[in-house]
Structure 1
Amino acid sequence: MTKSSHRKISYGQKEQARRRVFYHRLRIICEKMVGKGYFELLPESSLRLLYLYRYPEIKVILRGNRVMNEEELKNYKQTLAELLSSQYIETLLGEKISYARFLTDALVLLHYIQYRVGTRIKGFSKLREVFAPYFTTTEWFGQQRTNIIQIMSINDLQLYDFYRGTVRFSFDRMAIEQFGGTNEIYIHRLVHSTTLQNIDGKKRIIVRMGVPSPVKIDEFDWISIKPSQLGLTNVDEDIPLPIYAQQHALDRFEERAVFWRGYVQAYIGYIIREGSARTIVKKDYLLLECYLATHKVGYFVISLQRDKWLIRTFLFLTNSGTPEGNKLEEMTNLKLLDRKHLMIDCMDAFLLYDIAGDKGLRKLFNKAGCGSLMKYADQINKHGKESLKSPDFIYRYMAMLK
C-alpha cells in the first residue's frame, strides 16, 4: 500500500463532515416537530450559527470533596446517559425525540427560532408560526421540562446513603432552564439529620425524612405529618410530627422492591404534598401503601414513637401481615418460609421467572390482590421476556403442600 493512499484528512474536512451530520439530525428533528418542508427555510448562514452555538451533552460536576467516589461517579454518568437516551418526549405530531437529543439539538433549534430568527430570513414568519406551540413559554414545554427533571432526579436516588447523605443535582445551567445554557449539572450531597431511638429495647440510629429544598440547594425541607393525613381520626390533637426511618426499613425496601432506597423519602414527601397517602390502620401501627409509579408493591409499617413517626420496615405485597399476603396464604397454604424459598416474598421472582406470563399463576396472584405486581413485571420485562425462566417449579412446590 503506497503512502499516497494514506492521505491525511484536514481539520476543515473533519468540521465539514461534523456539520453535515449535525444538519442531518436537525432535519430529522424539524420534521418530527413540525413536518417536512420547514427545514429548507433555514439558510446556510443560520445552519452554521446553529452548529457554532450548539448545546453540548450534559456534563456532571461535583460540588464538594465527599459527594461520590470515582466508581460512583462513573456509574452515575452511565445511568444518566442511559436514562436520557431511553426516555422520549412526544411531539405534537406524535413523533418521539430522546431526552438526550432534545436537550441538545432540538433545544438549540427551538431557541434559535424563538429568540434569534429575524426578518432577514425569508421564511421567518412561517418558522415562528409552526414552532410557536413548542416555545419555552408554552404549557407543552413546561410539561417536558418537568418530565425531564423528574427523570434525571431518579438518577440521584442510587447514591442515597443512610449516613453520608442525599445526592441531588442543580440544573440552573441546563439549556432547558435558560437560553444559552451550558448543560452543566452540579452534584451536591445533603447532610442527613440522625438521632438515637429506643426500638424494641435497643438503641438504634434513625434518619429524618426530608426532600431537597427548592430554594436552598444544600438544605432539606423536613417532612411533617398530621395523624389525619395517615387516616387516624380519633386523636386529641391533629398536629404534624416529623417522620423518621430506621435503616432496616430502607434495607428491606431495596431488597424486596428491588429499587433504590433513596426512593423512600422522595415517595413520602410526594404523597404528603399531594394528600394521596393510603393507609390501613391497625391497633399499634399502620400500613402505608407504597407505589412505584402506578404499581402497588407493598406497605411501609409506621408506628408513633412519642414525638415522631417511625418507618419500622417495608412489607412486600405478598408478605405475611399484608391483606394480599394473608389472602395468598389462605388460597395456597404457602407459609412465610415457603414464600421465601420460592422468592415470591420479593420482586426477584417476578423478574427472573415468567410468573406474569403464566395464565394460571397470573390468575392466582390477581385473585389474591397482587395484580399490580403482574402489571409491574409486564412493564419491566417487556423487552426481555425471552430470557425469563419457566415458573413450573412453583406449581410443583404447591402440589407438595396439598
Structure 2
Amino acid sequence: MMHQLMEGWEVEISEGQRIPLSWYLSEGQTLMDSVTEMEPDGDVRLAQIKEAFRAFEFEGKIHSEVQDMVIELVTDTCRFLSDYNGYIYKADVSETPYFAHYNPTNDILIHAVKPVFEKVRTRDGFRDAIKLGWIGDAFKWQNFKVKPSLLGFKTNGLEIPLDLYITSHALRRLNERINITPGIMHEILVNTFLQYEIAHSFKGNESLVTYRVSDLKVGYFVVRLHEQQLVVHTFLFLTNNHTPEGEKLNRLLNLELADKEYLEIDNLPDFNAYHIDQNEKLSKVFSDAGCASLLKLGHLQAFSVNEINDKDPESILKYLADAKYFTSN
C-alpha cells in the first residue's frame, strides 16, 4: 500500500527538475551514501562531485523536506489500514537511516493496538463499546475524555471531563451510512470530540454532534449522558429522520422513512451515485432542506469501500412528482 500511495510523489532536486520519491529513497539514497564516503584526496573532479551533492546532505533542506514526505506517507498508510473493529496502527521511522544517519538497518516499525470493547451500562441496558482513543506519540493507547458542557449537557459545580464510549452499533451505522475507508472515518470521529468547541445541537436529553468529512457536514453522532459517562449511541446521516435536515426534507417532500430507504438517499455512497449536484431541481430541494454540503462530496466515491453504480436522478423526480414542493413551484 505504501508503494501505491507513493505514486505521483516527487522530490524537487533543482529548479524545475523533479524525480519520483521512490527513486530518491532507493537509488538516490544509495548514490548519496556512496558520495558521502568518497575522499577526494586532492582529486578536483571528486571534490566537485561532493560539492554538487552538498544540497542533499543529512542536514540539508532537501533532506528535511523528504523526511516530512516520508512521515506523511507512513502516516497515511497507517490511517488507511486502521479500523476500530480491528487494529489501529502507528509507524515509527526514527530508526531508519533517513532519520538515524548511521543506523545500518532500514526497518519501519509498525505498532498495532487492538481497541478493547467493554460492556457499558446505559439506561437502555448494556452496550458493547470502546473508549474514545487512539495510539499516542509513545505508541501506546491513549484515551481521551470530554467535558459534558461541550456537548450541551448541564453540569452542577466543578465540571470534570468524562470518558466517552462509542458503541459498536454507532460504528456499524457510521460504516453503513458513510462507508469510506474505516481509518479515515474513525480518525475524524476522534478529532471531532477533541475540539475546543464541539459543534452540536441539543435535542431532548441527547446531543447531536456534527460529523464532517472534508470539512463538510455529513451527519451527526447521537450522544447521551449516563451518570458519569458519555455514550455515542448511533450515527445519523444528514438526510435521516431525527436530524434537523432530515426532518425538514420530510416536511418539504412529505417523506416517510420508507421513502428514503426506497430511494436510497439515506446513506452517502448511494446519495453520491445520483450526482444530484448536476440536477437543478434536486439540488435546490436538498439545499433548501439544509443538505447542500452533501452535493460537494462526489470525490469521496473514490474512497468508498463498496463500489456502487451510478443512479438516475430522474427516478427521484418521478417518484416525488406529486410532492407539493414541485407542483407549487
Q: TM-score, normalised by structure 1?
A: 0.65
Please give the secondary structure, in 2, of the residue aligned with 1:337: helix
Deviates more, 1:258-267 or 1:241-250: 258-267
Q: Give the number of the structure whose residues are more often helix, by fraction.
A: 1
Q: CA deviation at 1:329?
A: 2.1
Does residue 388 (structure 1) correspond to residue 310 (structure 2)? The answer is yes
Instruction: Please give the alpha-carbon distance, in whole angstroms, between the structure 2 residues aligned to 1:89 and 1:290.
Output: 33
Q: Which runs of 5+ in 2 are unaligned?
A: 41-45, 304-308, 325-329
Q: CA deviation at 1:300?
A: 0.8
Please give the secondary structure, in 2, of the residue aligned with 1:125: helix
Instruction: Please give the alpha-carbon distance, in whole angstroms, between the structure 1 residues aligned to 2:16 and 2:256.
Output: 49
Give 2:214's match in structure 1, choosing from 280, 293, 296: 293
Instruction: Please give the alpha-carbon distance, in whole angstroms, between the structure 2 residues aligned to 1:365 and 1:380.
Output: 19
Letter of the 2:120 counterpart? Q
- Quote the residue 2:80 is aligned against: 155
1:197-216 matches, cutoff 5 A:
197-215=120-138
Does residue 258 (structure 1) correspond to residue 179 (structure 2)? The answer is yes
Contact preservation (8 Å) 2:2, 2:73: no
Instruction: Please give the alpha-carbon distance, in whole angstroms, between the structure 2 residues aligned to 1:324 and 1:129.
Output: 55
Instruction: Please give the alpha-carbon distance, in whole angstroms, between the structure 2 residues aligned to 1:110 and 1:285.
Output: 60
Q: Which runs of 5+ in 1 are unaligned?
A: 1-78
Instruction: Please give the alpha-carbon distance, in whole angstroms, between the structure 1 residues aligned to 2:100 and 2:199.
Output: 38
Q: CA deviation at 1:185?
A: 3.8
Contact preservation (8 Å) 2:75, 2:90: no
CA gap 1:99/1:198 in 2 versus in 1, 3 angstroms: farther
CA gap 1:258/1:347 in 2 versus in 1, 3 angstroms: same
CA gap 1:94/1:209 in 2 versus in 1, 3 angstroms: farther
Question: Would you say how many aligned residue pairs link Structure 1 and Structure 2?
Answer: 309
- Quote the residue 1:128 is aligned against: 54
Instruction: Please give the alpha-carbon distance, in whole angstroms, between the structure 1 residues aligned to 2:165 and 2:81.
Output: 20
1:11-90 matches, cutoff 5 A:
79-85=1-7, 88=9
Letter of the 1:135 counterpart? H
Letter of the 1:316 counterpart? F
- Cα RMSD for the two superposed structures: 3.4
- Quote the residue 2:327 is aligned against: none
Q: CA deviation at 1:312?
A: 0.5
- Quote the residue 1:279 is aligned against: 200
Contact preservation (8 Å) 2:88, 2:115: no
Please give the secondary structure, in 2, of the residue aligned with 1:277: coil
Instruction: Please give the alpha-carbon distance, in whole angstroms, between the structure 1 residues aligned to 2:126 and 2:244.
Output: 31
Cα deviation, 1:154-177, whole Å, max 9, x if unaligned, reads 2222x432xxx5231433355554
Q: CA deviation at 1:252?
A: 0.1
Contact preservation (8 Å) 2:171, 2:235: yes
CA gap 1:337/1:309 in 2 versus in 1, 3 angstroms: same
CA gap 1:329/1:160 in 2 versus in 1, 3 angstroms: same
Letter of the 2:51 counterpart? S
Q: TM-score, normalised by structure 2?
A: 0.78
Letter of the 2:84 counterpart? Y
Please give the secondary structure, in 1, of the residue aligned with 2:48: coil
Does residue 324 (structure 1) correspond to residue 241 (structure 2)? The answer is no
Contact preservation (8 Å) 2:269, 2:301: no
Contact preservation (8 Å) 2:32, 2:53: no
- Quote the residue 2:256 is aligned against: 335
- Quote the residue 1:53 is aligned against: none
- Quote the residue 1:196 is aligned against: 119
Instruction: Please give the alpha-carbon distance, in whole angstroms, between the structure 2 residues aligned to 1:337 and 1:95.
Output: 58
